[in-house]
Structures are given as C-alpha cells and as structure tokens.
Chain A
Amino acid sequence: MRIVIVGDGKVGVTLTQRLSSEGHDLVIIDRNPSVLGKSVTQYDVIGILGNGASLKTLQEAEVGKSDLLIAATSADEVNLLCCITARKLGVKRSIARVRNPEYTEQLALLKEDLGLSMTINPDLAAAMEILNLIHFPAAIKRETFARGKAEIIELKLQKDNILCGRYLRELTHLTKCQVLVCAVERGENLEIPSGDFQLRAGDNIYVTGSFRDLASFVQKLNFLDHRIRNVMLIGGSRIAFYLAKILLSEGYRVKILEIDSQQCEKLAADIPDAQIIHGDGTQMDILAAEEIENTDAFVTLTDLDEVNIVLSMFAKRIGVYKVITKINRMEYTDLAAQMEVESIVSPKNIVCNDIVRYIRALDHTSQGSVLALHRLVREKVEALEFSVTPNTHHLETPLKNLKIKSGVLLACIHRRGRIIIPNGSDVLRQGDSVVVVTTADRIFYNLNDIFE
C-alpha cells in the first residue's frame, strides 16, 4: 500500500519503522529537515520537506495516488486540515491524531464530513490501558480480545508459586481453569511453549482465557491480588485527565501531583472530585507527605521517561502494591524490566498497534481480517485476533489434523460469546474469531497464513 505519514514525531517514527518493515510504500512529510533526514536514511522511505497541511506539499507527495494518509503532527487542527485537504485531493482513507479532550465530543459529529476512517488519541488509549491494569492488578500487562471477552495477561512466577517446576500439560489438572499459557519469557529468551515446557521461578508467563477463568486462575495460584482503592498519579498530563475522569466515575479515589500551578487549577476546574496537589511529584518529602505508602496504585505520567522509571523503582521499594510506568522511548523498556519496573505503558505503541491492525485488515479485507493486534513481551510477541470467514481454509477440521506453522499458537476461539481454549478435537467454524500468538518478526495478514 502507498501510505503518506504527516508528522515525523514519536508516533510518526514508530509507524514508519513498523510499516516499512511490513513492506509498504511510505512517504513522510515533516517541516524539520534534520528529523526527516534521519528517517529517510534509516528506513526505506521517501521524505518530503514542508507543511503537511499545505496543498503544495500534499500534491508533491502525490496524496491522490495514495491509499492512506496518517496525520500525526503535534497539532490537532493541522491534522484535521491535512485530512480535509487530502480528501479533496482524492486520498482513499485517512487517519488523524486528535489529542485535545475539548475536541473528542465533536469528533463523532465530524468524522463523516471530514472523511476520517479513524481517529487516534494516544493519551486516551494509554489511559484505557492503565485502567485495565488497575482493574486487574495481578497482571503486569493485560490485552483484551473478542470485545473484552478474552484476555491475555502477563504474570510473574515468584519462587513460592506452586507452578514452579511443573509442566504446562499439568496446568488444567492443577487449576481446573480453562486457560492457556501462550508465551513464556525467561531472561532474554522467549518461548511459544508446548505441553512439555517446564516452568521455573522468575518466568514471565502470558496466559490467555476468559476474564472469569483468569480471575480464578490468579486466585487459586495465590498470585497476590488486592483490590485497589487509592490511585496516585504523578504529572497532570492529558493521560491523567482522561484516567482520573474514568477512575472517579468508577468510585476510585484519585490524587494527582502536578508541578505547574496553572495546570493544577485547570485540572481542579475540570475534574472537581480529584485531589489536585500542587507540588513536585519527584521529591521524596512531598511524596511522603501525600502518603505514598498508603496508595494502592502509583502511576507515573511525567514527560520524562527517566523520572518515571526512577519514581517507579522508588514506589516499588517502599511497597506500593501496583506501579504503572509510562515510557515513550522503547529502548528503555528492556532495562526497565530488569529494574522490576514491570507494568509499562507506551502511548505511541498502543496507537501504532491500532493503526497497524487497521492497515493489515485493509490489505486483506476479503479473507478473514485482523480484528485486534497486540504486541506483548516488549514488542517481541504478536497476538492477533482474526475472524473466521467462509474463505478460511480447513473449516470444521479437528485441529489435531491440521498442520500449523511452528512457533504459532492458536490461543483461543471465541464462538457466540463463549471462549474456548482449543484442544486437538476443536474445530474452526464460520463466524468464530480466533486469537493467534506468534513472534513479532512473522507477519500474518490473514488466518490462512498460519497453516503450513
């Protein structure tokens, strides 16, 4: 596909990297020659210097010949103008990044007139992901499929866990839960395991199943679970705004520490029920004064990754139950994981996943499209949800008779609202949706790609 990306910022660069490795023809537009130069030499793309909302630049990028335009500059208004202009020039589809909460409501209203296929809001997406973790705090990471019916959660095996030393085939017998371990991370290594895999203390396991089964799995195995009531947010950013609003509506107590007094006043006006504290959330004495030890969940949302990581380490040390860290630069995540900073949320990666999923679905709409796409284990594993259509091969054939590529796992089947953890006798049926887990270097556009 020919794709034009306007704005070579955080989201733009991540998208460039992901989409160019998937083999699309990319044109990048940005006003900053040095940023653009870096992208052009690093990835196999063409760069055009200029204002992405101007007619001349868009014409030069041959937007009219392109299949998709992604407007991801830092200014919402520019993004929208860019999409409108591109639509007039004949682009087939467009995606705009719109971050300002003041516009969210009118977007639904305008979407059709603007010809937008999708709007992305990294802050809102990040807030939703943090919310998911607060709902189910035992999970280090949590991704949902099948409209929330099925999930993949990440858990860490502590030394005293009864699963240590057990083989995966014993799992169902031990727990009586319908769950499946679909990936295991041991140190640097990653495994898409079979039944003969033996678990060890320190492993990070990725378990899939329905929410109910997972909840009982977590309880039975004594993964420390604990209901969260108090949430402390460091940094009053847009993510904090979205997150606080939802948390408050669900009855949590929310405290936001923000260093800028004007921003504090704005937050206080917008979210009257939250406690807004004017102070530097990176200072230990202020944190102590705000009773950090009594909070159940601690979320770091400042603009600086380094500060977020260090604060999270501190919170973990003094025993805060759930610590969630926002990180923008993914280079740090491997390092952060070693520092016991476990639950990491990266806004740009969430929206990039959404866009990549959308594009893969566009590529092969006729044959079982991608319904959801998540990346796990710090971008090393991809979990994809596909719909099963009449074009899918091997319908109604027991799975044990099928040859599926190695390193690919059918993690669960969603059939008429029910979640099935498949065994050899289960079949694929039209109308199902299935979750497939595989390493991230393999690219699957439709379900048939997984068969040998």
Chain B
Amino acid sequence: MNYKMIANLIGRILCVEAVFLLPSAGISLYFREYDTIFPILISVLLMAVIGILLMKPKYKADYYPREGFIAVALAWIVISVFGALPFYISGEIPSFLDSVFETISGFTTTGATILKDVEALSKGLLYWRSFTHWLGGMGVLVFVLAIHPTAKGSGQSLYLLRAESPGPEVDKLVPKTGTSAKILYGLYIGMSALQFLLLALGGLPWFDNLTTVFGTAGTGGFGIYADSIASYSSYEQTIITIFMTLFGVNFTVYYLLITGKPKQALRNEELRLYLLIQVVAAGLITADTYHLYPNLRQAMHHAAFQVSSIMTTTGFATVNFDVWPEFSKWILVLLMFVGASAGSTGGGIKVSRILLMIKSALCERRRQLSPRKVSVVRMDGKLVSDDTLRGIWQYMAFYLIITGISVLVLSLENLGFDTTLASVAACLNNIGPGLGASGPIGSFADFSDLSKVVLCADMLLGRLEIIPFMMLFAPSNWGKH
C-alpha cells in the first residue's frame, strides 16, 4: 500500500477544499454576518495547514486499483469531516455528528438534512452547504485531476476517475485523463452558468439563484427555505425541472453533441430509457393526482417536477408528496431505486445497470430455453463484456445487503414501514427526502445517533457506488504484503 501517495492526494484535496470554502467567508462578509466569518476562516486555515503537511513527504508515483479505490474512499471521509468544521465551530449546528451528517449529505449530493429550521442558518454557511453539492456532484477528485494531473503519462489517474464517477463502465472521453476531467468540468460549469442565466431572467435573487443552481447541478437538493422551493414561481420551477433532468443525463452524451455526433449521442439506449421512464411516471402520477389540483396543467407541472427531482436523485420538492395517493408515492419510491444515468451527477442504481440486468436476465432465459444457442448482451450496438456484467451483479448483491442491514437498524426507531424503507432509500440513493417523518417537510433531526451514523455510511456508499468502501474495509489491504 502506497500510504504516502494516498496522503499526498488527500492533502491536495484538502487544499482544494480550503480554496472553495473561502468564498463563504466573503458571502458572510457581504451579509454582515460577522460571527460566521471567523469560524469559516479557522476551518480554511486548518484544511490548508493539514493539507500542506500531508503533501510534504516525497512519494513514489506508482499505485494500483486498490490504492485508487482506497484513496477515493478516504478522501470522501476526510473532506466530509473537515467540511463539517464551519458548521460546528460556529455553533450553528451544535452536534458534531449532525454537522458531519449535513456535510456528507451535501458532498454526496443527497440533500437529507438534520436541520429543523433551515432559514435560521447564516447565509455564509447556507452557501457552503449548497456548494458542497456542486463540488460533490461532478466529484472532488475529478476536479483535482482536471487542475493537476498526477504522474505524467501514467494511467493510474484513471483509477481515481473510475472510483469516483458513477456507472457500470467508466471510460475517458479523450486519451488523457486530465483532459477528460477538464471537459467534464467545462460542460458542468457551462450548464450551471446557463441555468443561472435562465433563472436570473425569471428574476430570482442572486443568492437564491446560486444555491438553487448548486443544488440542481449536483442533483443535491438542499433548499434554503423550509418549504424547499415551493415558493418559487412556476417559470423557475419549470427551469429547475428541465435542468434536473439534464444533469441526470450521462455527460458523454453532451460531449458527443458538442463534438458534432448527434446521431451517436441520441442512439444511447440509456438516455432513451431514462427519458421514457420519466415521461411514463409523470403521466401516471398526473392521472393519479389529478383530483388534488385545480387543473390538468398544475397536476402535470407538479408530477413532472417531483418525478424529475426524485429520479435524478435531486430531492427538491414543490409540494408535499407525502400526502399523495399510495400509487403515486410508490412510483416515487421505485424511481428512488432506479436513479439517474451513469456518468451523470445523480445517484441511485442507475438506468444503465437496470437495463443491463434486464438484458442479462433475458439472455440467461434464452440460454435455458435452447442451451446450444449462443446469445450475448449488447448495449448501444456493442458487446457487453462478462466482466461488466459480473461487476453489476456484485454491486447489486452488496447493494441489497446494505439496504437490508440499514433498514434493520432504522427499524429500531419504530417509525413505520414506509418511513424506515424510504429513509434508507433516500440516503443510499442520494436523494434526500424520504416519506413520512423524513419526508419533504420533515427532517432527519430526530433520528438516533446510531441511525444517523448508518445513514451517513449509506450516503457515502451510495455516492461512491459501494466498491471503494468495501476495499477500505478489507483487512488484507492494510499492512505489509
């Protein structure tokens, strides 16, 4: 195990985090929240000092998938703990565990909150809380790769990209990992800017606008008001609906579009299924909730918003969907599990995994019907390797085990079947609000410490798609070998 290399990487990430935390102090200054500036600056200093110390030792630049996975898992734990400092030092979130929960929820783009009254938080910290979504959405390590590629010419940085980017198969857009990361962030920044512009045209104040864009782009879902974004105009909500859906699409599609290959981009099977599911789900919910709203347009608007928000694992809400009929609620719970596309900023199992699992199951059935027939799994016209399929089944096995254990721990809270299941689903799939007590107008504040720890772990496991953390806890990876 190349400890020095991992330490160096984590040091670099802490420095990046320090730089990104700094603007929060500026925001506090602007809103004259002088009590918040000092805690933020102390946190910045701590991150920078420890980051620089970690970067000091010389290291040999060779590492393997194992090191990549472990570096990614550790990095996410470290940035979450350090990112929680401003909340805790300022005393605005008195419990350290709660601060960490809130930060993990931010970085993993979950959007689950332990705050009962969001509006009481100072503006500087609200900004930081939303910004963690933006950074966590595309990935912290991807950002580090974009600004500072590791050892020149070595492919080792690919391990980092693979460990942090979601989906069954992660590939680079261009030969160099660094350039790929730059393109991804370029697209990400461009789309965020576009959304900011469109919301600004609707007259949204700049602070609301910025935090909403961060929440949408990272598919996070932290709002700055108690009723999420229900108070926004229907123009703004529509823009948000569209952009949530856009950020839930594989970024490779956008790369193909801007490099002049629209045919190839639109042939993407995952994209088609992703859009189809959204349309069908929104249609069914519209029909089911029609009687709750004054007209069809309103019913459609809210159905589309909630479907897009839940499926892309954002977690914004325009209405309290907890009061919807059972059928609609369970559609949403199913969408929680399906999640967004691979290579997007969203979480969940991912549409492509679901698609591949169905294809692979059908392929097995064909094989059983006529054992001599050779059948293979194809996606986007290409053969899917057995390795990829094995990876998906491995992921699913872990996913089910983790869901089971988490549900069992949460059942100790005695909150009823749907709250228990939906809370776990909302955290593991990085959505945010669940149903019942943890629903859109509730919070995770009243959960026991044990449940919070388990949910923290679920959020991290969900964001990094389980395997990196499994590596972290495999004893054979530690010590000499």
A: residues with CB less than 8 A from B are 2, 17, 20-23, 25-27, 33, 39-46
**Which 5 pairs of residues, A with B, have the shortest CB-CB distance?**
A21-B153, A20-B153, A25-B175, A43-B155, A46-B175
- Set B65, B158, B171, B385: member contacting A44, Cβ < 8 A: B158
Across-interface contacts of A21 in B (CB, < 8 A): 152-153
Q: Which B155-171 residues sit within 8 Å CB-CB of chain A?
A: 155-159, 171
CB pair A22 B175 closer than 8 Å: no
- Set B158, B175, B179: member contacting A26, Cβ < 8 A: B175
- Set B153, B156, B172: member contacting A46, Cβ < 8 A: B172
B401 contacts A by Cβ under 8 Å: no
Bound CA–CA A21/B154 (angstroms): 7
Given A21-B153, A23-B152: A44 in contact with B177 (beta carbons within 8 A): yes
B301 contacts A by Cβ under 8 Å: no
Could you mark each residue 137-156 of chain B with 1 if its beta carbon is under 8 Å from any beta carbon of chain A, else 0?
Answer: 00000000000010011111
Across-interface contacts of B156 in A (CB, < 8 A): 41-42
B201 contacts A by Cβ under 8 Å: no
B174 contacts A by Cβ under 8 Å: yes
B359 contacts A by Cβ under 8 Å: no
- Chain A nearest Cβ from B52, distance in angstroms: 26
Across-interface contacts of A42 in B (CB, < 8 A): 154-156
Across-interface contacts of B158 in A (CB, < 8 A): 40-41, 44
Bound CA–CA A276/B385 (angstroms): 49
B366 contacts A by Cβ under 8 Å: no
Across-interface contacts of A25 in B (CB, < 8 A): 174-176, 179
Bound CA–CA A44/B145 (angstroms): 12
Number of interface residues of B (CB under 8 A): 19
Determine chain A's interface SS by DSSP, over half rule. Answer: mixed
CB pair A44 B174 closer than 8 Å: no
Determine chain B's interface SS by DSSP, over half rule. Answer: loop
Q: Smallest CB-CB separation from A17: which chain B residue?
A: B153
CB pair A41 B65 closer than 8 Å: yes
Could you mark each residue 171-198 of chain B with 1 if its beta carbon is under 8 Å from any beta carbon of chain A, else 0?
Answer: 1101111110000000000000000000
Given A20-B153, A21-B153, A23-B152: A44 in contact with B159 (beta carbons within 8 A): no
Q: Which B319-369 residues sit within 8 Å CB-CB of chain A?
A: none
Total contacts A to B, CB within 8 angstroms?
48
Bound CA–CA A17/B151 (angstroms): 13
Bound CA–CA A322/B355 (angstroms): 65
- Set B65, B152, B175, B178: member contacting A45, Cβ < 8 A: B175
Across-interface contacts of B157 in A (CB, < 8 A): 44
CB pair B159 A41 closer than 8 Å: yes
Q: Smallest CB-CB separation from A60: which chain B residue?
A: B382
Bound CA–CA A20/B159 (angstroms): 17
Across-interface contacts of B175 in A (CB, < 8 A): 2, 25-27, 44-46
Q: Smallest CB-CB separation from A18: which chain B residue?
A: B153
Bound CA–CA A39/B156 (angstroms): 10
Most chain A Cβ neighbours within 10 Å, of B65, B156, B158, B179: B158
Bound CA–CA A40/B155 (angstroms): 6
- Chain A nearest Cβ from B149, distance in angstroms: 8
Bound CA–CA A2/B65 (angstroms): 27
Across-interface contacts of B172 in A (CB, < 8 A): 46
Across-interface contacts of A26 in B (CB, < 8 A): 175
Across-interface contacts of B159 in A (CB, < 8 A): 41
- Chain B nearest Cβ from A168, distance in angstroms: 32
CB pair B174 A45 closer than 8 Å: no
Bound CA–CA A2/B176 (angstroms): 11
Across-interface contacts of A20 in B (CB, < 8 A): 153-155
Most chain B Cβ neighbours within 10 Å, of A2, A22, A46: A46
- Chain A nearest Cβ from B249, distance in angstroms: 22
Q: Which B382-403 residues sit within 8 Å CB-CB of chain A?
A: 385
Bound CA–CA A44/B157 (angstroms): 8
- Set B65, B153, B176: member contacting A22, Cβ < 8 A: B153
- Set A27, A33, A44: member contacting B153, Cβ < 8 A: A44
- Set A33, A39, A43: member contacting B385, Cβ < 8 A: A33
Across-interface contacts of A39 in B (CB, < 8 A): 155
Q: Smallest CB-CB separation from B178: which chain A residue?
A: A44
Bound CA–CA A2/B154 (angstroms): 16
Bound CA–CA A43/B177 (angstroms): 10
Across-interface contacts of A23 in B (CB, < 8 A): 152-153
Sampled A-B contacts (24; CB under 8 Å) = A20-B155, A21-B153, A22-B153, A23-B152, A25-B175, A26-B175, A33-B385, A40-B155, A40-B158, A41-B65, A41-B155, A42-B155, A43-B154, A44-B153, A44-B154, A44-B157, A44-B158, A44-B175, A44-B178, A45-B155, A45-B175, A46-B171, A46-B174, A46-B175
